Amino acid sequence: MGVEGTCDDRFIAVREAFETNFERGEDVGASVAVTVEGELIVDLWGGTTGTDEVEDPEANVWQRDTIINTWSTTKTMTALCCLMLADAGELDLEATVASVWPEFAANDKRNVLISHVMSHSAGLPGWDSPMTTADLFDWEKATAALAEQAAWWEPGTVSGYHAVTQGYLLGEVVRRVTGQTIGQFFAAEVAAPLAADFHIGTPAEHDARAAHVIAPSGTFGADLDPGSTTIRALGNPALDATVANTIEWRRAEIPAAGGFGNARSVATVHAVIACGGEANDVRLLSTPGCDRIFDEQVYDQDLILPTVVRLGMGFGLVSPELPVGPNPRTCFWGGWGGSLAVIDLDAKMSFAYVMNRMGDGTLGDLRAAGPLLAVHATLTP
């Protein structure tokens, strides 16, 4: 299947790098998009959706409107909702979680700040009580269990990737402040104004457009100490990536890992941040509201991810350890298997790559790197 879509002539190297992924057999189905100053200048897709059981082969072709579970790239959407509420004066990111969610104070968590949750340093990267995958579809159970348990370390001292729990924690904060679920708030306040095809809790009318993830080949955690913090956090429940292909997962609001969209929708949302809070006549944040992203919260070896991380307010920040861009005002996040979103406020650029074939490991692989480096090379004088 060839690559389709549009690409400004100036960014032809991005298209070539994207096509190379398919030529090497590294991608099955994927999309990549770039905005500069709010304008969508790269919007490409190609391959197949992974839904091989369909009778019509044409229905297996990755289309312009194909969407896919983006895993942790969803976290950027949840973080944006919290930044918007903070910018509007409805949420204080330096306040305690318990100030808006009183039950959360249990087990000596009165001093956990919302900023700690935004920076994965709240000490709640997993559940103490046994959880099944089905329990992730039960919002009340998932959030109540987190409210009841104790933090695993002193909050704010170090990060430990809150791979799934961060979404429930921030989502419940949003619900307590607004009376809306995170999916409802995002749909009304972000997706609708921007006409962005991204969903946290995907309605049934989009099912026909949903591609299937192709799970990694390895077994997660096979090389890790069963008693490690990583296994304790990510092994309860131990997710089979193919759960993302189920209706139950698609319908549930899983704000750290369950968003459905494509590269265009991710880049469109992030263009607002790239442009200082406003893009295409839609303002979601003030310029100081965007600047909050760069308030460094943690810069150290993560307890769960196998890397040093520099974390701001809801996003990763560029660093020598993770040099995702040449400019200092660059933030990013990625998803399990390889999806990636990079936002460069200095260049007013947003980049997004999403795919269905997942790479091995928690940090994905380098398929997004080729197109991203081509963007940087084009924009750098």
Query: pLDDT digit of tens for each residue in the chain (381 aa)?
Result: 689 999 999 999 999 999 999 999 999 999 999 999 999 999 999 999 987 655 555 668 999 999 999 999 999 999 999 999 999 999 999 999 999 999 999 999 999 999 999 999 999 999 999 999 999 999 999 999 999 999 999 999 999 999 999 999 999 999 999 999 999 999 999 999 999 999 999 999 999 999 999 998 765 555 566 678 988 999 999 899 999 999 999 999 999 999 999 999 999 999 999 999 999 999 999 999 999 999 999 999 999 999 999 999 999 999 999 999 999 999 999 999 999 999 999 999 999 999 999 997 666 678 999 999 999 999 987
368-373 CB contacts, 8 Å cutoff, 24+ apart = 368/32, 368/334, 368/338, 368/339, 368/340, 370/17, 370/18, 370/20, 370/21, 371/14, 371/17, 371/18, 371/32, 372/324, 372/340, 372/342, 373/17
DSSP 91: -
pLDDT at 362: 62
Question: For residues 318-333, b (16+ Cβ closer than 10 Å) or e, as one string?
Answer: bbeebebbeeebbbbb
pLDDT at 223: 54
pLDDT at 254: 98
DSSP 151: P
Task: Assign residue 342 a region (left: φ > 0; alpha: ψ between -120 and 50; beta: otherwise).
Answer: beta
DSSP 168: H
Q: Any alpha helices (H) in 179-320, and if so which ranges?
A: 182-186, 192-194, 229-234, 247-251, 263-274, 287-291
Distance separating alpha carbons of residues 191 and 290, to the nearest angstrom: 18
**Residue 265 tokens, joined:** 């929708």
Radius of gyration, alpha carbons of the chain: 19
Distance separating alpha carbons of residues 272 and 156, to the nearest angstrom: 29
Contact assessment for residue 80 and residue 342, using Cβ atoms and an 8 Å cutoff? no
Contact assessment for residue 260 and residue 199, using Cβ atoms and an 8 Å cutoff? yes
pLDDT at 368: 96
pLDDT at 125: 98
- In words, the CATH class of domain 3-74+181-187+194-379 is alpha beta
